[in-house]
Amino acid sequence: MNQIATSAAPPLPTATEKLKFYGMWVTAAIVLVLLPHVLGSGGSLTTFSLIGISIIFSLSYNILLGQTGLLSFGHAVYYGLGGFLVIHAINIIGANKLPIPLPVIPLIGGLTGLFFAALLGWVSTQRSGTAFAMISLGVAELIASSALILRSFFGGEAGVSANRTRLFKLFGLGFGPQIQIYYLVAAWTLIAVIAMYALTRTPLGRMCNAVRDNPERVQFVGYNPHVVRYLAFCFAGFFAGIAGALAAINFEIANSAYLGAAQSGTVLFAAYIGGIGFFIGPIVGAIFVTILSLGLSDLTQVWQLYFGLIFIAVVLFAPGGITGLLMMHRPLVKAGTLQQVLPSYLEALMPTLAMLAGLVLAVETIVHYTVNPGDDSHIKAFGVSFDAASPYIWAMSAVLLVGGFLVARKSWGRVGEAWDKAGAVPREEDITA
Amino acid sequence: MLELIVISTLNGILFGMLLFLMASGLTVIFSMLGVLNFAHASFYMLGAFFGFQISRWFGFWPALLTAPLLAGAIGVAVERFGLRPVHRNGHVAELLFTFGLAFVIEEIVQIIWGKSPVDFRIPSSLDFPAFTIFSTNYPAYKMFMLLVSVAIFAGLLIVLKKTRIGLIVQAALTHPHMVAHLGHNVGRIFMLVFGVGTALAAVAGVIAGPALVTQSNMAGLLGPILFVVVVVGGLGSLPGAFVASLLIGLIQTFAVSMNGSLSGAFGPLSPAYATTWLADIWSVTIAQIAPIVPYVLLVLVLIFRPMGLLGTRDT
């Protein structure tokens, strides 16, 4: 009884808690401002812009998956439509010399996303669970295929392009150089992240969680789960539209790939790998996935295969994602028993890394023989050169793979034992995360 | 006109039966395991590529037999070592696992067989016209495809209606928990059902491979249509999947063979609108919009019958 009473009316935050909360956002803003001064090369500015866009997109996706429990396979529709509308808007505004500066343009993308989410969402959100997933996939295919038919609007395979520098210049900002685009993206990212965080704190955000956990009970309380799902869907569409608009401004082009299944899959990967159970999860996932996809493609030909394998590994072994894994240790840190599990981690890490090295070696060797069989057999992957034709390499990859797997299985069992012991302390002291 | 109708009906039924070969496995797996296998179309693709490789080494007939067995064995392994551990994390995790699997299978197929279509030919013993109808030669291979899919359909019907295992599967379609309570080895039945379901998809792949294009994107092209079939038919309903398969097969085949457009029916658009996006809608032919017809059907069915045509179960 006591518990219900306290959870219904949480105590007002103390001054230190408030300071901590607002300090976090101020720190984030300062970091965003200082980032280009620390790592200011052209390439990293582009990377930061992409990460910012990806953060907004992943967080908007998590309004659906993490907060409302709606697994969507077609979230890129609202991202892409936002992008297309913004490109057309820039062209129209530029041609008519309307006094609308670039910084407010992403709002057009957001409203586009909102409009289409409101239009398509009512039918989609009638069902939840697996049916919703399939419907979102069908609607996404419908829009993506239509985009190839309506050529004059979507520009066919080539897409539509625009020139962002021809717009009305506010304070002399032309938005030609990447640094200005970075600050535009950073500002919008901060605004969108704060807005989406605020959304989770509203009664609507709470009802979304309730609909995710127990829709039947929500009905008993007097809410319509369909309406709650629909509202969440509209908000997700709005923020996805903003992300799409920023992407369109960044690249100055929108094409049918923006709307496609691959884009929807990427945002799902990012949100899930980061962890859908925490607000910060998709942010971590967006950073991780963007850097991974940019970095891996330099290191190996078949980076998408590794990408898919990482995703499967997360689904299998860490359903809470990266943040879920880290947050799992909070009770241990609080109880001071973290050092009990760390040695077992080190012990398990060695054979696991050996197994992964064996796997990578095997994959790269196979790739050499199937993708480019005629080439020189001395190949380079992940910065390491080796001879794919050598039987030693084959033997080594087999030994690493099988041996690593056997030892790793045993040592992960030991990690479990260490966890049981270390986790018992916070449980006894009644410390939760 | 009559010629068009007869040929399109034949082709439509053929495509519908192929869809049903896959949709039946998908539906039974969904009903029993509660997970919609996102990678189902990937097993269809694996069937086609295994069929291509084996028919190159040993000929088409051994391929028709062994490729589905191979794909089915992979399906069994996926269920045992992938889906079963994920099961405790809930249905979303299971669906995501199969989603990742579909992604990885496509990458692996691209690594092994490349991105361009492979040369999977119709076996010479079936490469002749079966009959001539209104001056069109109807290929024997298509009749063979129809025969195989109808035979498997009949076989499935007999297994489901007349055997003990069929009885259990049928019971699990409507009362999955009760079946478990009755003391059947649910784990083994799941594994078997998953294996048979994926093997059926692979059969569809082997026989469709030579007639359609065998390429690494074939799973991505067919997968969404397959999901439309099971949602339109009603999730978890086998008769629904059958009706929806034939419906979508026929609609799409007829749409492809029709050339009408709004401008054909009402005359060309006035020149004032010729460069606007309205011109696209005005001049697009029915054949061009054929790929989106199943999705339009999906949206319509969802508006008027959210459970699907013959569906009774909410997910």
pLDDT band of B267, cuts 50, 70, 90: low
- CB spacing of B295 vs A265 below 8 angstroms: no
Residue A6: predicted pLDDT: 46
Residue A16: predicted pLDDT: 84
- CB spacing of B288 vs A137 below 8 angstroms: no
Mean pLDDT of A221-250: 92
pLDDT band of A192, cuts 50, 70, 90: very high
| Weakest-pLDDT range from A255-264, A330-339, B91-100 | A330-339
Residue B209: predicted pLDDT: 83
pLDDT above 90 (res A233): yes
A69 to chain B: closest CA residue = B92
Compute the distance between CA of residue B146 and CA of residue B249 in angstroms, rounded to an integer: 13
Mean pLDDT of B277-281: 69
Mean pLDDT of B210-233: 85
Buried b (16+ CB within 10 A) or exposed e, B121-158: ebeeebeeeeeeeeeeebbbbbbbbbebbeebeeebee
Q: How many residue pairs from chains A and B have C-beta atoms closer than 8 A?
A: 130
Residue A3: predicted pLDDT: 45
Compute the distance between CA of residue B236 and CA of residue B35 in angstroms, rounded to an integer: 10
% pLDDT > 70, chain A: 93
pLDDT band of A5, cuts 50, 70, 90: very low
Residue B45: predicted pLDDT: 92
Q: Is residue B13 part of a domain?
A: yes
Q: Which residue has the tokens 């929806």?
A: B244
Q: Is residue B280 part of a domain?
A: no
Residue B315: predicted pLDDT: 47
Q: Which of A144-153, A223-232, A247-256, A384-393 has the largest mean confidence?
A: A223-232
Beta-ladder partners of B139:
B129
Closest CB from A134, A302, A308 relative to B231 = A134
pLDDT tens-place string over residues A324-367: 888 888 877 777 777 777 878 888 888 888 888 888 888 888 88
B224 touches chain A (CB under 8 A): yes
The nearest CA of chain A is from the CA of B136 a distance in Å of 31
The nearest CA of chain B is from the CA of A204 a distance in Å of 23
Our count of domains for chain B comes to: 1
Mutate to test the interface with A, among B35, B106, B107 (most CBs of A within 10 A): B107
| Weakest-pLDDT range from A106-120, A165-179, A242-256, B177-191 | A165-179
B chain contacts of residue A153, beta-carbon cutoff 8 Å: 277, 280
Write the CB contacts of A235 (distance below 8 Å, at least 6 apart in sequence): A60, A63, A199
Q: What domains can you pick out in chain A, each with its CATH number? A: 24-327 (1.10.3470), 330-428 (no CATH)
**Average pLDDT value over all residues in chain A:** 83
- CB spacing of B111 vs A366 below 8 angstroms: yes
- CB spacing of A308 vs B302 below 8 angstroms: no
Handedness of CA A343, A349, A350, A352 (dihedral sign): positive
Written as one letter, the residue type at B159 is V
Residue A432: predicted pLDDT: 61
Range of the domain at B50: 2-216
B289 to chain A: closest CA residue = A149
Contact indicator for A318, A329 with CB cutoff of 8 Å = no
B104 touches chain A (CB under 8 A): yes
Residue A246: predicted pLDDT: 92
B282 touches chain A (CB under 8 A): no
Contact indicator for B25, B12 with CB cutoff of 8 Å = no
- CB spacing of A145 vs B96 below 8 angstroms: no
What pTM value is reported for the model?
A: 0.86
DSSP string, B57-72: HH-HHHHHHHHHHHHH
A chain contacts of residue B289, beta-carbon cutoff 8 Å: 149
pLDDT band of A147, cuts 50, 70, 90: confident
Closest CB from B91, B280, B303 relative to A151 = B280
| Weakest-pLDDT range from A81-95, A196-210, A281-295, B178-192 | B178-192
Mean pLDDT of A216-235: 92
Written as one letter, the residue type at B80 is R
Q: Is residue B91 part of a domain?
A: yes
The nearest CA of chain A is from the CA of B103 a distance in Å of 6
Q: Is residue B234 part of a domain?
A: no
- CB spacing of A149 vs B280 below 8 angstroms: yes
Residue A2: predicted pLDDT: 45
B chain contacts of residue A151, beta-carbon cutoff 8 Å: 280
- What residue spans of A63-163 are helical by DSSP H? 76-96, 105-124, 129-149, 151-154
Residue A77: predicted pLDDT: 92
Burial of B176 (0-12, 13-18, 19+ CB in 10 A): middle
Compute the distance between CA of residue B17 and CA of residue A115 in angstroms, rounded to an integer: 39
pLDDT tens-place string over residues A40-93: 676 788 888 999 999 999 999 999 998 898 889 889 999 999 999 999 888 888
Mutate to test the interface with B, among A289, A315, A412 (most CBs of B within 10 A): A315
Q: Which of A305-314, B109-118, B139-148 has the largest mean confidence?
A: A305-314
Q: Is residue B60 part of a domain?
A: yes
Q: Is residue B315 part of a domain?
A: no
Give the residue with greater pLDDT, A147 vs B313: A147
Residue B300: predicted pLDDT: 85
B39 touches chain A (CB under 8 A): no
Mean pLDDT of B23-37: 83
Q: Is residue B86 part of a domain?
A: yes
B228 touches chain A (CB under 8 A): yes
Mean pLDDT of B187-195: 84
Compute the distance between CA of residue B131 and CA of residue B137 in angstroms, rounded to an integer: 6
Q: Is residue B156 part of a domain?
A: yes
Residue B252: predicted pLDDT: 86
Mutate to test the interface with A, among B103, B115, B116, B216 (most CBs of A within 10 A): B103
Beta-ladder partners of A161:
A253
A139 to chain B: closest CA residue = B295
pLDDT band of A431, cuts 50, 70, 90: low
**Average pLDDT value over all residues in chain B:** 82
pLDDT band of B265, cuts 50, 70, 90: low
Contact indicator for A172, A110 with CB cutoff of 8 Å = no
